[in-house]
Structure 1
């Protein structure tokens, strides 16, 4: 199925299979940056706001949650089916990326 989104097309054409981890990660960073969701990989997940928390805290948490889900879709959609199945249950993009780094980032970390 052809993608109409040029950003998604970059990842579709360069799916993560393992040996291409560093090239895939470079492309992923480009796509997530252009989609304005890369920040969830570099920002800690905000704590769940209390019932009486100010609206700005609830909005910040919701924005992080929404952007994390969008980034997660880009990441999972750009993996081989086997890798996708292994990572689909992970809650955050940070956990996914840490696990992938452990699996495939044995070369000198070029893009951290």
Structure 2
């Protein structure tokens, strides 16, 4: 990902491939926090304001869409090509990260459990 933001180099060097899910997630959260767009993970997409809605509502919706799109670019740019293709059609960044979590966090927990079992001798 050619980057306008020097911090994005963190994500360039640590693209999500699967086994590195936890490291990728930590780096992504650092990046979106530094870029001041983390809030799109914590706030649901505002509804489209009506024509008579205050300008503040229109501004909030526009800001959310802009920051969500920026965050989506960071996320997709920091994934393998296969994962990009699986998530490119998703609009809301929190949906993308939830899907990634469902895919890889379970694999991580299973691998960790198997590793721990391998360290503990059987008691028979």
With structure 1 as the length reference, what TM-score do the two structures score? Answer: 0.91
Residue 82 (structure 1) shift:
0.3
Please state which structure has a larger fraction of its residues in helix: 2
Report the equivalent of 1:70: 70
Higher relative contact order, structure no. (Cα contacts within 8 Å, ≥ 6 residues apart): 1
Higher gyration radius (CA): 2
Q: 2:58 aligned with 1:28, yes or no? A: no
With structure 2 as the length reference, what TM-score do the two structures score? Answer: 0.82
Residue 16 (structure 1) shift:
0.2
Cα distance between partner residues in 2 of 1:66 and 1:54: 19
Cα distance between partner residues in 2 of 1:91 and 1:2: 22
CA offsets, 1:42-63, max 9 Å, x none?
1111111111111000000000
SS in 1 for 2:48: coil
Report the equivalent of 1:60: 60
Report the equivalent of 2:41: 41
Cα distance between partner residues in 1 of 2:35 and 2:80: 22
Residue 6 (structure 1) shift:
2.0
Provide closer, same or farther for how the CA distance between residues 5 and 105 of structure 1 changes in structure 2, counting only shifts above 3 A. Answer: same
Query: Following superposition of structure 1 onto structure 2, how do residues 101-112 of structure 1 map, counting pairs within 5 Å?
Result: 101-106=101-106, 107=108
Cα distance between partner residues in 2 of 1:56 and 1:105: 38
